[in-house]
Chains A and B, each alone.
Chain A
């Protein structure tokens, strides 16, 4: 497990083809690990019938609305929590 609760992480900027469960609107943006959800089969493999034995860690990452949408008009404190798999995350610089 690469990250701990509270770590600042950045979602990788990538646009791979196929089934991906990382929403486009958080790619390339930073948030904090809110919790570790556990180990799950990678949906990017499962979608093509590759069930295998490998599992990946799933996290919930909390983003500030103003980070996701710089023109957000609501209060600064508003947030979005998104489930993101470990291979989509890197340490925020």
Chain B
């Protein structure tokens, strides 16, 4: 915390300059936006009509906030060590994930495998569809107009901005999540990880590699 004036706790707070110790505004101190008010009103109505309870709503929010990229990482590490699991994951991702206790959510999930021939990357050009059950909340850049418009138009440049240079002999395949499917990328297992167990492997896998904007690297 920086002080640009000597601070005495016996002074009064009648400053004529911005007080660096001014309390942060509470949520209620700024007017709700139109959509916040709308969301609150709809939630209150649904509770009042008995469609669900306040407890149901709280439970759902807590459940969704517990979804993190660790779930996608766990699926990836299992696929790297278990070829039968991987085969199932690529053909029936929902059932494969359920085998290791992971709920992929209500939308069908397609897992796209990166190989020496193909690098896959996900976008939703129309809005911001995202595998939220496996990766949690999407990053702001994923929802930005810049990413959404450029990654389908010039994917190799966008990937290189993320530090990912895909060799010209590999196909870059963009998946535009325009309707009912959700996508997760299965990254390639990096070289030099033969001695690692499933838990250690899962720690190498990050959110961005499951979206497809980076590849997974071996530990330095």
Residues of A within 8 A of B (CB): 21-23, 25, 37-38, 40, 43, 58, 60, 68-69, 72-75, 77-85
- Pairs of residues from A and B, 6 with the lowest C-beta to C-beta distance, nearest first: A83-B179, A77-B171, A80-B174, A83-B178, A82-B176, A78-B172
Q: How many A-B residue pairs have CB under 8 A?
A: 67
17 residue pairs of the A-B complex, CB under 8 angstroms, read: A21-B178, A21-B179, A23-B178, A40-B179, A60-B181, A73-B154, A74-B172, A78-B155, A78-B173, A79-B174, A80-B152, A80-B176, A82-B178, A83-B179, A83-B180, A83-B181, A84-B178
Contacts of A25 in B (CB 8 A): 125, 152-153
Tell me the smallest distance from the CB of B209 to a CB of chain A, in Å: 19
State the CA gap A82–B122 with chains docked (Å): 11
Q: Check B153–A69 contact: CB distance below 8 A.
A: yes
Give the residues in chain B near A37, CB-CB below 8 Å: 108, 179-181
Beta-carbon contact of A80 and B173 below 8 Å: yes
- Bound state CA distance, A57 and B60, in angstroms? 31
CA distance A79 to B174 in the complex (A): 6
Q: Which residues of chain B are within 8 angstroms of A58 by Cβ–Cβ distance?
A: 179-181
The smallest C-beta distance from A9 to any residue of chain B, in angstroms, reads: 15
Q: Is B114 an interface residue (CB 8 A)?
A: no
Q: Which residues of B contact A (CB under 8 A)?
A: 108, 125-126, 152-156, 168-169, 171-181
- Contact (Cβ within 8 A) A74 B156: yes
Q: Is B176 within 8 A of A83, CB to CB?
A: yes
**What chain A residues lie within 8 Å of B180 (beta carbons)?**
37-38, 40, 58, 83
Report A-chain residues with C-beta under 8 Å of the C-beta of B171.
75, 77-79
Cβ contacts under 8 Å, B154 to chain A: 72-74
Residues of A within 8 A of B153 (CB): 25, 69
In Å, the complex CA distance between A60 and B172 comes to 17
| A68 vs B155: C-alpha distance when bound (angstroms) | 13
Chain A residues with CB below 8 A from B178, complex form: 21-23, 82-84
